[in-house]
Amino acid sequence: MNKNRLYKELLGFMKKENVLMDELMKNHTSFKIGGPADLLLKPQSVEEIQRAIQICKKEDVPYFIIGNGSNLLVRDKGMRCVVIKLADNFSHFTIEGTTVKAQCGILLSTLSKKILAKSLKGFEFASGIPGTLGGAITMNAGAYGGEMKDVVTKATVLDDEGEVVELTLEELQLDYRTSIIHTKQYIVLEVEMELEEGEYEEIKAITDDLTKKRTTKQPLHLPSAGSTFKRPPGYFAGKLIQDANLKGARVGDAQVSELHSGFVVNVGKATAADVLGLIALIQKEVFQQFGVELQPEVRVIGEE
């Protein structure tokens, strides 16, 4: 990749402050870990996304889409590609009656507050999930008995040809931590959801209760990527890790949370190598002691 040439070409239609060269990915992930991306873009419109992707394809340069970086571990050497960030630059929403339409980059926590203000119920489960709406629908995020597939009616995406396409709930193929968006590498632009009318105080009480559970049982005060492992059939990953005597275990500044063993946290200046070393240690110990293979839920990307 000729970074300088690509940079100049992108500046032909994007503002300079939205085209960053050699940008550290630790500034764009909830883990606060990650080496430099060759280029990081913050497009301001669908057309800018499309043009950036067209240039990448023309130059045979790989690109990668991120939201708030809440489920990512970027390796220490960084990313040899163009990273396209869709976060607060795509956060517009509308609420009409019980129908909510929101762009991919809005934070779930922000959207849940707006929904609560309209006394709509059904989205309480998502109020404390870190990350953006786009990431949530891509991985069919869920918590406390609710999932995105319970409320989504359709989504507008960019397909692999760069065309704007509308997908119905059935076409989205939302399943446990996956979707057609994930498998086909589509780009979420907007999500439509249908909720129900409810009582403000009742909805707020449920939301407050879930928030209390999260803040008392999860290490939200430390950088992490959320739950580190997928739930193995018939087990809970956190319990297996705790029963394997690994609570508080460390590799460098990566630590199994002392509050919730299902989380690996960054207690200082952890590197991706620290986290990957700890993940490998956990997998080895849990398999040796219980015969269960833990699969990471966090997505690991970047140059090895």
- How would DSSP label each residue in 60-76? T--EEEESS-TTEEE-T
Token pair for residue 58? Answer: 């023309």
Q: So what's the pLDDT on residue 129? A: 87
Give the domain CATH number at 176: 3.30.465.10
Question: Based on the domain organization, do 193 and 247 belong to the same domain?
Answer: no
DSSP 238: H
pLDDT tier, 213 (very low <50, low <70, confident <90, very high otherwise) = confident
Residue 209 belongs to a domain: no
Q: How many domains does the chain have?
A: 3
pLDDT digits (tens, 9 = 90+) for 145-183: 899 999 999 999 999 889 999 999 999 999 988 999 999
Helix or strand run (H / E) with residue 260? none
pLDDT digits (tens, 9 = 90+) for 242-253: 999 999 999 999
Give the domain CATH number at 36: 3.30.43.10
Q: So what's the pLDDT on residue 100? A: 98
Residue 252 belongs to a domain: yes
Helix or strand run (H / E) with residue 224? strand 224-227
Question: Based on the domain organization, do 157 and 183 belong to the same domain?
Answer: yes
45 as an active site residue: the answer is no
Judge residue 230's burial from the number of C-beta atoms within 10 Å of its C-beta, 0-12 exposed, 13-18 middle, 19 or more buried: middle
Identify the active-site residue in 177, 179, 224, 257.
177
177 as an active site residue: the answer is yes
Question: Based on the domain organization, do 167 and 242 belong to the same domain?
Answer: no
Q: So what's the pLDDT on residue 250? A: 98
pLDDT digits (tens, 9 = 90+) for 116-150: 999 999 999 999 888 899 999 999 998 888 999 99
| Domain ranges, residue 94 | 90-203
Question: Based on the domain organization, do 81 and 176 belong to the same domain?
Answer: no
Prediction pTM value:
0.92
Question: Based on the domain organization, do 7 and 34 belong to the same domain?
Answer: yes
Q: So what's the pLDDT on residue 211? A: 86
Q: So what's the pLDDT on residue 177? A: 84
Place of tokens 């280029």: 39
Question: Based on the domain organization, do 236 and 290 belong to the same domain?
Answer: yes
Residue 214 belongs to a domain: no
Q: So what's the pLDDT on residue 1? A: 79
Dmax over CA atoms of the chain, in Å, equals 58
Nearest-CA neighbor of 296 among 145, 72, 34, 135? 72
Query: Among 143, 176, 203, where does a domain finish?
Result: 203
Question: Based on the domain organization, do 110 and 197 belong to the same domain?
Answer: yes
Q: So what's the pLDDT on residue 123? A: 97
Token pair for residue 9? Answer: 């070409």
Q: So what's the pLDDT on residue 96? A: 98
Question: Based on the domain organization, do 94 and 199 belong to the same domain?
Answer: yes
Q: So what's the pLDDT on residue 110? A: 95
Judge residue 168's burial from the number of C-beta atoms within 10 Å of its C-beta, 0-12 exposed, 13-18 middle, 19 or more buried: exposed
pLDDT tier, 216 (very low <50, low <70, confident <90, very high otherwise) = confident
User: Is the Cβ–Cβ distance between 165 and 157 less than 8 Å?
Assistant: yes
Identify the active-site residue in 112, 224, 227, 257.
227
CB atoms within 10 A of CB 215: 12
Helix or strand run (H / E) with residue 200? helix 200-217
Q: Say how far apart CA 291 and CA 33 lie, in whole Å.
A: 31
User: Is the Cβ–Cβ distance between 219 and 265 less than 8 Å?
Assistant: yes
Identify the active-site residue in 9, 192, 194, 297.
297
Q: So what's the pLDDT on residue 158? A: 97
9 as an active site residue: the answer is no
Kindly compute the dihedral angle of the four CA atoms of residues 241, 245, 250, 251, in this order, to the nearest 10 degrees: -70
pLDDT digits (tens, 9 = 90+) for 71-109: 899 999 999 999 999 999 999 999 999 999 999 999 999
Question: Based on the domain organization, do 158 and 248 belong to the same domain?
Answer: no
